């Protein structure tokens, strides 16, 4: 009888121990934080989406392309540097090149969970561009977090 009770207690403790364990594969939260830019044709009454035939994009002073001759593009997802408060990008639309500078505030690291860890989020303060292909820019969502939302509208005339 005592051995049976001891066995039941050990099985119960072992079950609780196993239930308390978690796997790192259980993170279902998106940890990627990108700024999303949409392309629009400048209009008088409403903003009309615009598709660019080919786009190249890379960070200023970076070798690798984030977009390398991507075809039929109507938006870009670009990462912001969490170690700085400014990210600069060179974006070539078809055969015309513009530089895009994004100024932002780095927020405190956002804790998701023990399985997922933390992500860095930013708040966009200002966006400046050269005006070769880009006519103007408008910030529509300042908070850059891990939600798939458009942050900046880029207008072409």
Candidates 97, 100, 98; CA nearest to 89 is 100
C-alpha distances (whole Å) from 87 to each of 19, 62, 78, 126 are 44, 11, 10, 11
Structure-token match 């009888």, residue found: 1
Encode pLDDT of 115-148 as tens digits: 888 888 999 999 999 999 999 999 999 999 888 8
Token pair of 8 as six digits? 């039941």
Residue the block writes with tokens 């700024």: 35
Tokens, residue 73: 């593009």
Q: What is the pTM of this model?
A: 0.78
Model pLDDT for residues 31-64, shown as the tens digit of each residue: 778 999 999 998 777 889 999 999 999 999 787 8
């Amino acid at each position: 009888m005592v051995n049976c009770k001891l066995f039941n207690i050990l099985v119960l403790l072992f079950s609780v121990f196993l239930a308390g364990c978690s796997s790192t594969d259980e993170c279902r939260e998106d940890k990627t934080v990108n700024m999303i830019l949409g392309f629009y044709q400048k209009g008088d009454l409403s903003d009309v989406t615009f598709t660019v035939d080919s786009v190249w994009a890379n960070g200023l002073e970076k070798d690798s392309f984030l977009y390398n001759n991507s075809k039929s593009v109507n938006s870009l997802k670009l990462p912001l540097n969490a170690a700085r408060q400014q990210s600069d990008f060179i974006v070539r639309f078809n055969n015309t090149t513009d530089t895009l500078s994004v100024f932002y505030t780095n927020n405190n690291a956002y804790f998701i969970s023990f399985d997922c860890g933390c992500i860095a989020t930013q708040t966009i303060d200002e966006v400046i561009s050269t005006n070769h292909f880009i006519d103007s820019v408008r910030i529509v969502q300042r908070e850059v977090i891990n939600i798939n939302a458009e942050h900046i509208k880029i207008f072409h005339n």
